[in-house]
Amino acid sequence: MSLQTVTIHNAQGVKVWGSPVVFGVPAPHPPPAPLAPGEAFTYATVAWDQHTCDGSCGGPGGGHEGAQVPPGTYVAQGHVTTTEDGQRSATLTSNSPPFSIGAA
């Protein structure tokens, strides 16, 4: 079994957004297929609306969405955690290229 989540970090490395959580479980996504060396996998997740969130947005009661993030540079991180027999076995994390959000 695998669990996929996404976080967004600002230029200082501070997490400003996390994948939605519903009833304490990250939103479900299909597990990636095994890849051969050199193959790529594009992982689709929920859209980020450029507001801060503690990871419970979209959950029961509407979550805890915050304010619009300020202009600056951000990085998305994808995380895949695999489990075996109910025990965490490994977490793989990959960063997107840095991207900028400009002034409105």
- pLDDT at res. 5: 77
21-to-4, 26, 68, 82, 99 alpha-carbon distances in Å? 11, 4, 20, 18, 25
pLDDT at 67 over 80: yes
Sign of the torsion angle spanned by Cα atoms 17, 50, 13, 5: positive
pTM of the model: 0.65
Higher pLDDT: 29 or 9? It is 9
